[in-house]
Amino acid sequence: MSQQLPDTIYPIGHLTPSIVLYEPSFEGWLSAVFYVYAHKIQHNTALQLTANDCYVPSLIDYATSVATEADKAQRVLVKLNNLIGRSGLRQILWGLLSEKMDIGTTLFQVVKYAIDYPDRAVMEDLGNLNVLQLAQNVKSVGREKHRMEAFVRFEHTNDDIYFARVEPDFNVLPLIGEHFRQRYQDQHWAIYDLSRGYGIYYDKSKSTPSRPANLQTITNLDEAVLRNPASVHSVDEQRYQQFWQGYFTNVNIKERKNPRLHRQYLPQRYWKYLSEKQLLPDAEHLQKRR
């Protein structure tokens, strides 16, 4: 892909892989791209780049697994930045976070297109099916990011941490962290992705007046807490939820209800984590009065 890449090829009689497996991360995918060009298999029309946690073994196709190597990933990153710029790299990253089954291959084909035609604005060429597919994925990820930023609901815990559970369709946690880091610098908070088994944590004690603290990755939380967060609620949390539910109930105008429009702007799959949708026993009388 550039003069810096090693000039190595498979010897005669050696099986050439048609599937390149990478660790499910941006650096892992970049390392796989480096491997493809280093071994000169980029023109193989059957070539697939697949995250190793999505791979289903095949008796026909030969697969090889590529380790993540930071230096090689960095070389590919620099090359791509020169070809498609920061905006293009952002689209590549967001596309990868969509976690579509064939996204690794789609992204590789976009990269190959950019390398083969360095003078073209390839990221704007929606006539190319791979570029179009990437654009559609990026749009979907962006929509999910926006909804997560709007619909995350924090619950105050005994440890003075505001905790939220989410199950986004796409892996948008790396994209929404900065939004909350800038807005809640005076609180300890954490957002945990139940589907993917990890979360992000902000420790306000490590921030300074001029700079918010960095986000930390958290894993392996207590399953009991994840299933029943009310077990670690602070004394005031249930009262906060009752106040909010009472407000939500009382500002509702029955004659102006539009369930279809409501579900359009607030999809039902988000409801289970919204406190205003979980009527507490002490708030039932508010609905009966209406």
pLDDT category, 1, cuts 50, 70, 90? very low
Tokens of 227: 């299933």
Phi and psi at 14, nearest 5°, equal -85, 140
Closest among 201, 203, 198 to 219, alpha carbons compared: 198
| Mean pLDDT of all residues belonging to the chain | 87
Q: State the pTM of this model.
A: 0.83
CA-based Rg of the chain, rounded to a whole angstrom?
A: 24
| Surface-to-core class of residue 146, CB atoms within 10 Å of its CB (0-12 exposed, 13-18 middle, 19+ buried) | middle
User: Which range, of 55-64, 127-136, 230-239, averages the lowest pLDDT?
Assistant: 55-64
For residue 8, is pLDDT > 50? Answer: no
| pLDDT tens digits for range 68-84 | 999 999 999 999 999 99
